[in-house]
Structure 1
Amino acid sequence: MPIELGDVIPHFTALDTNGKKFDIQEYIGKKPLVIYFYPKDNTPGCIAQACGFRDQYQDFTDLGTEVIGISSDTVDSHDTFAKRYKLPFILLSDTDKKIRKLFGVPSGLLGILPGRVTYVVDPQGKVVFVFDNSINATKHISKALEVIKKIVS
């Protein structure tokens, strides 16, 4: 069952780019979140999306928001990806696709690739926006920022 508007995000843990355990509970109740699922490190659409979030990361942090990217790539792949593109936000490794399944992220592109979905979550952990668009990777950034501006004002 996919996560929908109004749902509270499920509890999850994962490893970040440094191989450290990330626990979503450390963020719930403290700040808004943008959680985006993407297909694969170092692919054209995913590079464009990650660099878009990088380029506007200060806008998100100025609004008290954390950005979290999740894919099934390994910690080492994420580390290389983050360093190569100077990504300042959290990347989580979901190699067993448990988090993707928890959120009910659908497959994209004819079921071949993992889907690309962005969730905007209010400080209490409630989903206030879902953007599911596997084709237009860069549109996720402006849509998420627009929603964040509304919920923090």
Structure 2
Amino acid sequence: MVNIHDYLIDQSGKDWAVLLADWVPPLPSDFTVWMVNRFGDVFATFDDGSIHMLDIGGGSATQLATNREDFITQIGNDETADNWLLMSLTNACVASGMTLKNNECYSFKIPPLLGGLYEVDNIEPTDLSVHYSFLADIYIQTKDLPEGSKVNFKFIG
């Protein structure tokens, strides 16, 4: 039997309001972090009880379930669990020897938002604050562009 906690980040001691400040919107100003997968994707409870996933790599927030019970029912499906928790990719990272420290998550070297692939060679452990800040900056700069737009980034420093 799969232990869901093997695919989640320990939330204790982390200031999620600060870490996710740049992600409002697409998150609302008031929400509760329920779970966070090892890629930093946030499963949040909104005021109406609905469960949404903030896909950090893809730069989107999507409602997954009307409430926690609905979420638990859906994640009982192996394919859904794998998709939401990136279980196969997490297993591949662990098998390759990639380990996470307390304040790290798996992060994409080239984010999926910019065409990066969901594969081990494109992943590295990254500090949570760097992960959320960097990907929020990319999201903010590209969110209004039409799909398929070409972008150029200039990295300074």
> Does TM, scored on the shorter chain, surpass 0.5?
no
Structure number with bigger Rg:
2
TM-score calculated relative to the size of structure 2 = 0.35
Q: Identify which of structures 1 and 2 has the higher relative contact order when contacts are C-alpha pairs closer than 8 Å and 6+ apart.
A: 1
